[in-house]
Structure 1
Amino acid sequence: MMITVVVADDERLLRDALEAILGLERDIEVVAVAADGLEAVAQINRYCPDVAVLDLQMPGKDGIEVTEAVRESSAQTNCMILTSHARPGYLKHALESGARAFIPKSTSARTLAEIIRKVHAGQRYVDPELSAEAIAAGDSPLTSREAEVLALAVDGATVEDIASRAHLSVGTVRNYLSSAAIKLDAPNRHAAAERAYERGWI
C-alpha cells in the first residue's frame, strides 16, 4: 500500500530535500509540498494524504496550528512535526493539538521514513531526547494571563506597551509580571520572559 504524504516547510532547500528523499521510498509518495502553514492546510484538504510532515515554525500557521486545523476539519490525515526549535513546551502543545509524532530535523532519512510508516499504522512517536527534556522541564507554573503578558515582554516592550497591547491596566500588568518572575525565580521580567521562552511556556 502506498502511503501518501504532504510535506510543509518554509525553507525551500529542506522542503525539496524531504520530497526527494521520501520519493526514494518504495511505499511513500509525496503528493504535494507547501511553503507555509496556510498552503499546507489547503494541500491537505485537497489531497487528503495519509500523513502530513510539518515544520514547526512556518509563516501563516505553524505546524501545531496546522495540526489543529486538520483535526477540526475531521480529516483522516495524521500529522507529524519536524523541528529545529526543540523547546520542551512545544512537545506538549504538539501532542495536545493531535500530532502523532514530534521529531528533530536532525533525524536521519531512514528513521524519518520508518516514523512515517509508524504514524500511518496508527502509532505515535516522540524523539526520546526531546521527551526527556520535556519531562525535566515540567509543566508551566504560569497562569494563562501571566504567560500572555510575559510573551509580550520577550521583545523588551515597556510595561505601558504591554498594558496597551494586552488591554490591561499598567498596575495589573505589573502584578502579572511580578508574579511570573517570582514563580520562575527570575530577577526581572526580561529574565523571566527568557526563561519561560527557553522552556517553551510562552
Structure 2
Amino acid sequence: MKTTLTAVALLTALPVFAEDSRQLDAHEHGVGALNIAIDGTSVAMEFHAPGADIVGFEYVAKSDADLAAIETAIAALNAPLDLFVLPAGAMCTVTNASAELESEEAHDDHSKHKHDEDKHDDHADEGHKDHDDHDHEAHKETGHDDDDHDAHAKKAAHTEFHAEYMLNCDGPDALNEISFAYFQTFPNATEVEVQLISSSGAQSFEATRDAPVLDLGR
C-alpha cells in the first residue's frame, strides 16, 4: 500500500511540472492529457479529454442517444489497458479505475444558484420576501422563458471526461512504451499530451493519431 500512496503523491506533482514545461490549453478540442506516475510496481494514471473528443458533443446530454453515448464512453474509459496498451512484459493489471463526465456549466450554475440563495436569504431577513416572485414575473415578461434558458445552456456547456487509474505492474522495467489504441476508440481525438514521473525523473511526451506508439525512453 505504501508504494500506491507514493505513486498517488507523485501524480499530484505532475500538474506543476506540466505548467513549468509547457503551457497547454486546458480544453483544446482534439487534445487530451495523460499524467502517469510510476513508483516500483505501482502506476497511477490520470486522464482528461474534452467531451467533443470522446462523444462528439459538449452540450448537456438529454436525449436517449446522447445519454447512451456517454454511458458507452465511460465504460470504454474504465478499461485503461484497452486504450493505453502497455508492453505484455510489464504484466500490468488494473486495481482501480474511475471515469466520469464533468461539466463546467453545471458547476457554474450550482455556484450561481448558491450565491443567489444566499442573497435571497439576506433580503428575506430584511423583509423583502416578495422579491423572488417579482423577479420571476419580470423574467417572464421579458420573454426569457425556460426554452431560451435551455438553448443557452446547450450552447454554453463545457464538458470534459476525467478518469483516474491505479495499476500494478509486476514487470515495471518493461514499461518502455505505450500504444494509444485510444485513437481508434475515439475518432475525434487527435493528440494526447503525456506527463510522466518515474525514478528517471520528469518527462513530457506527445502521442498523436499519426504516431500512436510512444517511446517512454526508460
- Higher relative contact order (Cα pairs below 8 Å, separated by 6+ residues): 2
TM-score range relative to shorter protein = under 0.3
* Greater Cα radius of gyration, structure 1 or 2: 2
Higher helix proportion (structure 1 or 2): 1
